[in-house]
Structure 1
């Protein structure tokens, strides 16, 4: 009985989740590594015929960035911090989700790349064979774009000895207040080589590195040449003739090495088109059209990261369903909660609120450990002079931002991410982003993930565990290379590149492009908005905003700035060297998800909880935040500070529609690429029965122009203020799921299922959120206990579930071919007891303003467009 039930359990896992196909791996890979003393100096990169940093330096000059801000910008755009190995091997082989980098980055589809994937073409790169392109054919570049620095990089494909361009980084001046610089006298920063820049792939934020293990002869035999990756990406069924192999390719193993290792920088999600100066053609932008911080509202990062998976795979349907501009920050570090969120728009960062008195446990810089010998409390980097960190709990942390060359020390820490989860400091929040994109995975955190196939609660990998920041610092040189330059990145965040992009300024640029003498002022904008939305609309809208919105969407409370009714929300900060807007237009305070009423699953994100992966990046104050009692989920899903949202700043809201943390309020946007295989738009509108409506509104094609952004803003504002006109949106699977379940031995080239299980099809239209949030491990364990050890089930307080669990177990054992139907019949039971978030309609809530008059709704729309 036990063996039969365990086989059934294994089948259940494959059916109901099948998510990340973890393979076993030695634990604690980093603990045994010894850190050698630093070398005398970094190696010197080989000179390229084209200076790949030139356009970045020109952008720094255009924006008036100082040295530190410019270095931070370069790192933000280029540094992968070693995640090329993660994205080439670990993600595929350890986590089981396949990225088809050639599909995403192939040069012959460069002109369609933005429309398909929402990513932004690098203006410095070119399609091989185009006029003036140094590469005359795709054979030279293995099918990729040619980019500056490739004359050097391509020589090292299949060979050792490549010196990364990051080795040549010219660091900013030392901060004399940094304890590690000994008063600004000693440069003890880790080698910039470990930032790992590589060269561009042709898409900004995506970087390539030569693979020294590449075998040209094997590659050419497999693909018929260098320009195509067709054999590498082809399913194994072509070679084996086995049907299930049609869903597996060489992307999943290392039997053939690709020519490049691909890494991503933080900019891969945050680089975007400048609202003040959008490109004439989004597929062919110029450098002046690009900003690094606003956040890419078109990116299809989820589909990109699942680009090597068939639509029929459960992994793809669970992973690749976020809207454009939205990504699930716990998709890789999966927490079994369906919680996609928009890319953070880093606008007017210098005015972002900080919070005093929060209890924070973290590592802080010091110049000695004294007699402390415990490396979990204090550690000094070998070969350095007093470069130490000490872990302690304090409530007096500050945030330093350099403005106009002057250091401004703000008392307190920021609340970052949608629920404020990153709350131990801005520098640490930046560092955590590198983990989220794959840096230091094997040294630090991949073994703290949940192994989705591990069903034994006594074994490592059953659930998440917290990774140790101190151990990561000790064992991962990429961590140290980034950490030593975090202040440069934060300085970039506070630089002119994050300043507000006002609609009046965008329209002024439009007019100047046609007539250099043309002008357009804030007053001109107000006059035009009054014409469009009604006489006096802007002034009336300010009154409506003060009375109805400012409580949450002002960073300056009335106790500090006076009554909202008398407030100029666009007033500049006169103490700021650039006179940026004083009000961040968001208070960053935690607000109960039930008060806002929006899709609550994101608020239940759990990676920051005590004992979970990113525990050390959340403050003690956040961990102790009281549960939101009226969230309609089980009590154990509300602990650890969950259930809250940090409201979103309304600075430049005219340029960042659709709305809410999941971009669900407003029209659905899409790219409509020429290659229909890369058209990822899916129907979302459902009827009262939760099923897709036959007639779906057409999606709005990406339009980063000033007029396009403003039109999308107006349509999204209408939906925001007219909840009954929104319709209902729900994400369903958009392909049949084919699952190979159980043991399938071969009879020649024919697979024959054993134990009643074979290939199972889950019909298109299943709830993606339900699949994402099913606590299948708890369910599997309870099924076993109900059948074999009911007394243990009683100890867990789940005795009342035993009758239904026995019914499920008995029916599955008797009729395994009805497995899917059985689960469907018990859907309500599963949702009530084994689902992490039961909300499925994604565009509900935020009904504030619903009861305003139509005139006031138009006035509010007009006023917000001026902010």
Structure 2
């Protein structure tokens, strides 16, 4: 059940209300908000050094980069209610938020200190040399470094780590803030998913419109995360940051998937209750729910959460780095070795894994937001009862098969009887109670027909970095079929046909519709609708209306205009911003010019091993020849972002409006 009004002025007040004083839930909540699993070593030092200061969370937090008052608009991050804007430099010269809420010293050791941004934690750098710092020029020198004069030996005083909260905590639809720059704790929803986050800014803040990567960053939709940006599969596939609601209902519909004997071995050694979900069959089977859009995380939610910590540089970042594709290993991933990470009794896997049951208990305690409970929500629920009733009938006939975790008796096979059974189910007053509003099953992409990029991700395949976190069932999925008549941005009269590969790719699982009124835009890539920076009920309903109209009336979609394109001419660079040069027959080397209006995913979905052929095409015939070669070698030649999921679009308008009247009540 949802806790009472968090009220109060401190995190302690907020946590006490949300967890109702339950110590297990409190451990889970603190883990969600504060636990970095040691990734401060990665984000605080390894990543800034590897990118020569291009990606540096500490730089992002300094008020000279973005002021506290501007963070929400510029970064989409949520300001920590326990902090305020700095009045001057700290002892090391940084302009960081002042955070004054009392913190237990033991908690500070485990979780670091607040930074002013929810989900970003500050830890002392054990390699910091105070004398060297000030001799080198302190914070002014550190912040003014460029790629060209970056000093990897200048250790900052702080390391910044990231917790789950940086992506998943945002404003509570039932208690929106009066000021988005200064929310109270009571204004925050732990699992709504940050629809406002501008993730790409962290990675492109220091790039310019002259660089192609800047354009790719600008095109990333708000509220999405490209979770394979670092564990690179060379497909540009930012995905909506999921809301986490209805976890008990999701767990109630888990299904068994086959796992390998090695996976079964480490699952048996995990903290309860995980091993109870493992069947000692031959081959072994694991009872699992899914979180990722493609259903790749298929060996249980605990391991899915642990993989996320690994994926953002926590737990064992040297092993994580060794698994990444680089030029040194011909851009080939290496499987992350769970057994080796677990083998260190003092390691962060051993410290993180026992927190997973508490984390699950906390997440399971969060109730979804209902529009009826929102301030002024009743104004949007004045539909005639007959219209809502009709909407339920439409939902039963056209949506509930996939978007419900409650289903009629499977023995009812007669189509008319089954239709009536679905109608009785949806019309029941308890239909929404404990209903995940999804069957949590995978469906082949040619059936769904939404953009293919996320379904083509490779990281969980056999031999790839996260192979140990996906089931044998996933890796053994049959080919999903062929995509037909995809838009060809270079020759619109010649549509693209693309055969989907086997081995796990080519599927999407059903997304939950819980809290749909509050979670626009829609589809896995946030392509339907828009994100307002207004978290009020009115702002959310405006976004809901814009998204649901496009969902049910496809002619209102952007279609070909949703193809992400460069805004101006630019040059192709490597990840550090160094220009990629094209050798010409006369011996000259010129920058790889990308014309204005180029579809971003022509180049963003290109494997580095294919880049020499594209460069050679440029040398022969210029940019257009290079783009044609890039299209031939494209890993996901699906460029329209907002197509697909046209279920129900053939309904008469009166039924669509009735359906909308019901959808906003979910």
How does the TM-score come out when normalised to structure 2? 0.85
Task: Tell me, yes or no, if the aligned pair for 1:592 and 1:643 is still in contact at 8 Å.
Answer: yes
Answer yes or no: is 1:359 the counterpart of 2:258. yes
Match of 2:625 in 1: 825
User: Deviation at 1:545?
Assistant: 1.0
SS in 2 for 1:464: coil
CA separation of 1:464/1:200 partners in 2, compared to 1, >3 Å: closer, same or farther?
Answer: same
2 CA distance for matches of 1:662 and 1:646? 14
User: Deviation at 1:124?
Assistant: 0.6
Q: How does 1:437-836 map to 2 (within 5 A)?
A: 437-451=312-326, 453-454=327-328, 460-475=329-344, 477-495=347-365, 498-507=366-375, 510=376, 526=381, 528-530=382-384, 536-559=386-409, 563-568=421-426, 571-572=429-430, 581-631=433-483, 638-667=501-530, 669=531, 701-728=532-559, 729-734=562-567, 736-738=569-571, 739=573, 740=578, 755-778=587-610, 780=612, 809=616, 819=619, 821-832=621-632, 834-836=633-635
Q: How does 1:233-244 map to 2 (within 5 A)?
A: 233-234=143-144, 236=146
CA separation of 1:865/1:395 partners in 2, compared to 1, >3 Å: closer, same or farther?
Answer: farther
SS in 2 for 1:529: coil
2 CA distance for matches of 1:77 and 1:742? 40
SS in 1 for 2:589: coil
Task: Tell me, yes or no, if the aligned pair for 2:84 and 2:116 is still in contact at 8 Å.
Answer: yes
Task: Tell me, yes or no, if the aligned pair for 1:209 and 1:260 is still in contact at 8 Å.
Answer: yes
Match of 1:425 in 2: 300
Match of 2:156 in 1: 258
Task: Tell me, yes or no, if the aligned pair for 2:71 and 2:77 is still in contact at 8 Å.
Answer: yes
Task: Tell me, yes or no, if the aligned pair for 1:418 and 1:661 is still in contact at 8 Å.
Answer: yes
Match of 1:31 in 2: none
Residue from 81, 94, 97 that aligns with 1:142: 94
SS in 2 for 1:357: strand
Task: Tell me, yes or no, if the aligned pair for 2:92 and 2:157 is still in contact at 8 Å.
Answer: no
2 CA distance for matches of 1:73 and 1:732? 40
1 CA distance for matches of 2:508 and 2:628? 28
Task: Tell me, yes or no, if the aligned pair for 1:762 and 1:820 is still in contact at 8 Å.
Answer: no
1 CA distance for matches of 2:299 and 2:270? 21
Match of 1:106 in 2: 62
SS in 1 for 2:650: coil
CA separation of 1:490/1:249 partners in 2, compared to 1, >3 Å: closer, same or farther?
Answer: farther
CA separation of 1:718/1:637 partners in 2, compared to 1, >3 Å: closer, same or farther?
Answer: closer
Match of 2:195 in 1: 297
CA separation of 1:220/1:755 partners in 2, compared to 1, >3 Å: closer, same or farther?
Answer: farther
> Is there any run of 5+ residues in structure 1 with no aligned partner, and where?
1-51, 130-135, 153-162, 168-195, 237-246, 367-375, 382-386, 399-411, 455-459, 512-519, 574-579, 670-700, 745-752, 784-804, 813-817
Q: How does 1:132-531 map to 2 (within 5 A)?
A: 138=90, 142-148=94-100, 165=107, 167=109, 196-216=110-130, 218-220=132-134, 229-234=139-144, 236=146, 248=148, 250=150, 253-318=151-216, 321-353=219-251, 354-361=253-260, 412-451=287-326, 453-454=327-328, 460-475=329-344, 477-495=347-365, 498-507=366-375, 510=376, 526=381, 528-530=382-384
SS in 1 for 2:161: strand
Deviation per CA, 1:356-402: give whole Å up to 9, x if none.
33112376899xxxxxxxxx999899xxxxx9xx998867767xxxx
Task: Tell me, yes or no, if the aligned pair for 1:659 and 1:665 is still in contact at 8 Å.
Answer: yes
2 CA distance for matches of 1:394 and 1:204? 45
Task: Tell me, yes or no, if the aligned pair for 1:165 and 1:198 is still in contact at 8 Å.
Answer: yes
CA separation of 1:96/1:625 partners in 2, compared to 1, >3 Å: closer, same or farther?
Answer: farther
CA separation of 1:481/1:320 partners in 2, compared to 1, >3 Å: closer, same or farther?
Answer: farther
Deviation per CA, 1:516-538: give whole Å up to 9, x if none.
xxxx6xxx864x133xxxx7321
Task: Tell me, yes or no, if the aligned pair for 1:378 and 1:391 is still in contact at 8 Å.
Answer: no
Deviation per CA, 1:160-206: give whole Å up to 9, x if none.
xxx76355xxxxxxxxxxxxxxxxxxxxxxxxxxxx41101100000
Task: Tell me, yes or no, if the aligned pair for 1:570 and 1:583 is still in contact at 8 Å.
Answer: no
Deviation per CA, 1:598-643: give whole Å up to 9, x if none.
1111111110000001011111111111111123589885121110
CA separation of 1:61/1:601 partners in 2, compared to 1, >3 Å: closer, same or farther?
Answer: same
Task: Tell me, yes or no, if the aligned pair for 2:40 and 2:159 is still in contact at 8 Å.
Answer: yes
User: Deviation at 1:856?
Assistant: 1.4
CA separation of 1:364/1:235 partners in 2, compared to 1, >3 Å: closer, same or farther?
Answer: closer
Match of 1:64 in 2: 20
User: Deviation at 1:345?
Assistant: 0.9
2 CA distance for matches of 1:838 and 1:461? 23
Task: Tell me, yes or no, if the aligned pair for 1:342 and 1:661 is still in contact at 8 Å.
Answer: yes
SS in 1 for 2:83: coil
Match of 1:407 in 2: none
Task: Tell me, yes or no, if the aligned pair for 2:83 and 2:100 is still in contact at 8 Å.
Answer: yes
Task: Tell me, yes or no, if the aligned pair for 2:248 and 2:434 is still in contact at 8 Å.
Answer: no
2 CA distance for matches of 1:640 and 1:838? 19
CA separation of 1:333/1:96 partners in 2, compared to 1, >3 Å: closer, same or farther?
Answer: farther
Match of 2:4 in 1: none
1 CA distance for matches of 2:547 and 2:280? 46
User: Deviation at 1:217?
Assistant: 5.2
Task: Tell me, yes or no, if the aligned pair for 2:260 and 2:284 is still in contact at 8 Å.
Answer: no
User: Deviation at 1:110?
Assistant: 0.5
CA separation of 1:718/1:628 partners in 2, compared to 1, >3 Å: closer, same or farther?
Answer: same
Task: Tell me, yes or no, if the aligned pair for 1:120 and 1:283 is still in contact at 8 Å.
Answer: yes
How does the TM-score come out when normalised to structure 1? 0.66
1 CA distance for matches of 2:447 and 2:177? 40
1 CA distance for matches of 2:35 and 2:209? 32
Match of 2:415 in 1: none
Match of 1:121 in 2: 79
User: Deviation at 1:146?
Assistant: 1.5
Task: Tell me, yes or no, if the aligned pair for 1:103 and 1:307 is still in contact at 8 Å.
Answer: no
2 CA distance for matches of 1:762 and 1:150? 52
User: Deviation at 1:764?
Assistant: 3.7
2 CA distance for matches of 1:549 and 1:391? 33
CA separation of 1:139/1:732 partners in 2, compared to 1, >3 Å: closer, same or farther?
Answer: farther
- Structure number, greater radius of gyration: 1
> Is there any run of 5+ residues in structure 2 with no aligned partner, and where?
1-7, 413-417, 485-495
Task: Tell me, yes or no, if the aligned pair for 1:357 and 1:395 is still in contact at 8 Å.
Answer: no
